[in-house]
Structure 1
Amino acid sequence: MVGALRRWLLAGLLVLVPLIVTLWVLDWVVSTLDQTLDILPAAWQPERWLGMRVPGMGVLLALAIVLGIGALASNYVGNQLVAWWHALLQRIPVVRSIYSGVKQVSDTLLSEKGNAFRQALLVQWPREGMWTIAFLTGAPGGDVARHLPPQDYLSVYVPTTPNPTGGYFVMVHRRDVVPLAMTVDEALTYVISMGVIVPGGRKGPLPPSAAAAPGSA
């Protein structure tokens, strides 16, 4: 009986935990975006003409603002305004450093031409003999390239788990990385699930006797 209760408890947690976390994240996103309504004059607030507060109205407003700015920035006049705004921010000492760094990262991650994570790799981290998932981000550049030739070294990002937004940027020799036959999305899922969700559909870790060394296949 105790074993059955334990199985039911675990089964219930497996069903509810992802659902609860998903709903919590969605609630946080909607609540945050709903604050966008505060920029509207009091007479234009949806509560005034609907008679009640409707969750999600701020999401629609935020989406409309983003689409409007995107449409404006896509034509010649808007592009010139964006260039003028960019040049203005570049002249402000402290703001210039923050804005330039954030813009470079956002251009890499969000631009259609961007290629932040180019390929999933297997690297030895944090020491030799221990392997983890990493992502190719490019090759050493600038003054670093004088000491680490780009033809010999790769720039890689080693994410932490289960939160891949934190991690380490390292430059490793090409011979020390193993390219993986999985997409970046599959590799991210593998990292976030801490190895529980394996690309290819199988779930759960391999038994120790079935584990093979990287590159032995």
Structure 2
Amino acid sequence: MTEIPVKISFATRLRNSFLTGVLILAPVTITMWLVWTFLQWVDSWVKPYIPARYDPEQYFDVAIPGFGLLVAVIGITLIGFLGNNLIGKWIVGVGESVLNHMPFVRPIYKSIKQLFESVLKEHSSSFKKVGLIEFPSPGTWAMVFVASDATGEMAYRFNEIGQEMVAVFLPPTPVPTAGFLLFVPKDKIIMLDMSPEDGAKLLISGGLVAPDFTPKTAVEPVPDQSSS
């Protein structure tokens, strides 16, 4: 029996074309707006401190977006370079010693420094792995970002009950900026091969944008022994 093709009305085609255009333009437009807003924000902080003779806008009479960001990146890199030599380390040590002796400033500085060290240091394993845990009930699985093994008092308390626990971050969909810090037994986590970036895409899209996956080891077929 020949199937009769379904005719699509002009209004439906027009709506589909509009939605396709939104899907194409919205991510590009929002990304460009965020980048432009970030550049303007950095420039508004950095440019007032740049001497006029070093500002190219004084010579070309044209606003150069991102020049403040470029200066900030170069300045931060130079500070990091100086901080790696002996004189720089001594200066940093003196500055930290002063901050550590200030009653109200010390806890704030130590907390912020510990946070940045745990995130930015090369040896840090924070949120470099993605896993699955049973949540909120057995048989239901949720994707988490693995932070690190339990440390400090948390590790001590877990060792008392004979449990090796891992700290994981369970973000909601589609906004991963908030979530839950959970301590899960290490043997209860199914580790995934996907990167945290791919995990974030999967999370934000509500499961619609799944990363490509190729098993590391393919299952070899069982040879047919009936003919032997």
Identity of aligned residues (%): 29
Give the equivalent residue in structure 2 for 1:15.
Answer: 24
Taking the TM superposition and a 5 Å limit, the aligned residue runs for 1:180-195 are: 180-195=192-207
Q: Deviations over 1:41-75 (max 9, x none)?
A: 45554433332322221121112211211211121
Query: Quick check: which has more Rg, 1 or 2?
Result: 2
Structure 1 counterpart SS, 2:122: coil
Q: Deviations over 1:187-210 (max 9, x none)?
A: 222223221110117xxxxxxxxx
Which segments of 5 or more consecutive residues in structure 1 lack a partner in the other structure?
202-217
Partner Cα distance (2:73, 2:97) in 1: 26
Partner Cα distance (1:161, 1:86) in 2: 40
Structure 2 counterpart SS, 1:143: helix
Root mean square deviation of aligned Cα? 2.1
Amino acid at match of 2:205: S
Give the equivalent residue in structure 2 for 1:29.
Answer: 38
Give the equivalent residue in structure 2 for 1:153.
Answer: 165
User: CA 1:95–1:127 in 2, change beyond 3 Å: closer, same or farther?
Assistant: farther
| Contact 2:130–2:144 under 8 Å retained in 1 | yes
- Match among 4, 11, 20 for residue 2 of structure 1: 11
Once the 2 structures are TM-superposed, how far is the Cα of residue 22 of structure 1 from its aligned partner? 0.6
Amino acid at match of 1:69: I
Partner Cα distance (1:104, 1:12) in 2: 45
Partner Cα distance (1:80, 1:167) in 2: 40
Partner Cα distance (1:91, 1:27) in 2: 41
Q: Does 1:114 align with 2:124?
A: yes
How many pairs align? 201
- Match among 140, 143, 146 for residue 150 of structure 2: 140
TM-score between both structures, scaled by the size of structure 1? 0.82
Amino acid at match of 1:108: S
Partner Cα distance (2:55, 2:105) in 1: 33
Which segments of 5 or more consecutive residues in structure 2 lack a partner in the other structure?
1-9, 214-228
Q: Deviations over 1:152-187 (max 9, x none)?
A: 211111123333332221101234322223223322
Structure 1 counterpart SS, 2:90: helix
Give the equivalent residue in structure 2 for 1:94.
Answer: 104
| Contact 2:163–2:185 under 8 Å retained in 1 | no
